[in-house]
Amino acid sequence: MNTKLILDGSSGADDISGYYEFENNPQSENPPEGILYSANGGPDTILGIPYPGYYAPMDRSKRLKQLLFSRDKWSLEDIKLVSTDVTSLTQPLNAKIIMAVLANEPILSSSNVHREAAQLLNNWSGSHLLRDTTPTIYYKLLSHIFEMAMIDELGEKNYNTLVNTHLVKNAYSNFLANNDSPWWDNLATKDKKETRLDIFKEAYSKTIAELQASSGDLTNWSWGGVHTLEHAHPMGKMEPFDKIFNVGPFPVKGGIETINNAGFALNTSGKYSVSYGPAMRIIIDMKNVDEGVSVLPTGQSGHLRSPHYDDQAILFNVGMFRPMLMNKIVIEKTSTTILTLKSIK
């Protein structure tokens, strides 16, 4: 059964044919390599059959595997770096697909900026640090490509719904590499059939022109200038309450499906507000639980006037941690206030 699409309930062909036995559920128990990891990606095939489902791309899983299998001994500081890693293995491959199609096109050498941007995309390591400029170019270019290819078929509302799903994120590479995809043709131009090359050239031209218009010189195209994180409170949906209740916005490292998953909706505006990411970070050495560390996106209290409303926001944003108090004696010794809950009779 294809669980990703609307099914035909009238023919019976899409009816459930049965259920997998419980023991065939995807599982991993005491693997020989001694490492368990998951990042919402699809499970390995069971009985030689892929299990359908709405899974996140395997980007984070691949990066986790690369890092975790790189050594045998780990310190707390090492694991902190893994949990806040912002290098993608997949997005640079997509950038290279685009650049390979454009390799012989005059657009890449039409100015110093066009040449420098192309070099950055070709040589990108996948880093999404605040000072990096390549993600700023890449995501604007990618957004233009998808919008130009799909919005004529889907309309703006349906396009914005589809393009930011896991379904499309899983298809980035295959889509960009498919020269024969019918999506490339713009249905609005009846006298012309657009090609992948046409779309890539126009998208690249628009990307460079718009970044120059909004940010000037290429050295100003930093990822931290366009990629921001704001923790929105329900009361902060309207001005001026956003200035009172919301926490942020902050420039933030990370990107779509990096381990530090600071994801956002693809768009051609060049501004990328984070719309999803980790709800918390926790690192525990099971031999020494009392020394565990954690951090929350904002704070421990939901009360605006509490000092703990947003006192972890900066720590979370820059990839730092705080002690996760687990020892009763230490908690009692270091506590400054006591919350007493009384029953109402």
1 pLDDT exceeds 60? no
pLDDT of residue 145 exceeding 80: yes
Closest-CA residue to 128 (of 258, 264, 314): 258
Note whether residue 250 is domain-resident. Answer: yes
More confident residue, 139 or 332: 139
Q: Both tokens of residue 214? A: 């909004």
Contact 148, 186 (CB under 8 A): yes
Proportion of the chain above pLDDT 90, given as a percent:
65
Mean pLDDT along residues 116-133: 97
**Is 117 a member of any domain?**
yes
Whether 309 is covered by a domain: the verdict is no
pLDDT of residue 31: 85
Q: Name the residue with higher pLDDT: 48 or 264.
A: 264
Q: Supply 208's token pair.
A: 């460079």
Q: Which amino acid is at 202?
A: E
| Domain-located, residue 340 | no
Q: Is residue 224 part of a domain?
A: yes
Is beta strand 272-273 parallel, antiparallel or unpaired with respect to 227-231? parallel
Does any domain span residue 343?
no
- Give the whole-angstrom CA distance, residue 151 versus residue 163: 10
* Residue 242 Cα to chain centre, angstroms: 24
Q: Are the beta carbons of 299 and 306 closer than 8 angstroms?
A: yes
* pLDDT tens string 172-227: 999 999 999 999 999 988 889 999 999 999 999 999 999 999 999 999 999 999 99
User: Does residue 52 belong to any structural domain of this protein?
Assistant: no
Domain count, the chain: 1
The model's confidence at residue 13, banded by pLDDT at 50, 70 and 90, is: confident
Structure tokens that stand for 296 in this block: 């929350």
Q: How confident is the model at residue 2 (pLDDT cuts 50, 70, 90)?
A: low
Determine the pLDDT at residue 3.
61
**Spatial separation of the C-alpha atoms in residues 290 and 80, rounded to whole Å:** 17
Per-residue confidence (pLDDT) for residue 4, from 0 to 100: 63
Contact indicator for 321, 294 with CB cutoff of 8 Å: yes
CATH number for the domain spanning 236: value is: 1.10.1400.10
Residue 188: domain span: 84-278
d(Cα 168, Cα 41) in Å, to the nearest integer?
A: 14
Q: What is the pLDDT of residue 176?
A: 97
Contact 75, 106 (CB under 8 A): no
Question: Looking at the domain assignment, is residue 251 inside a domain?
Answer: yes
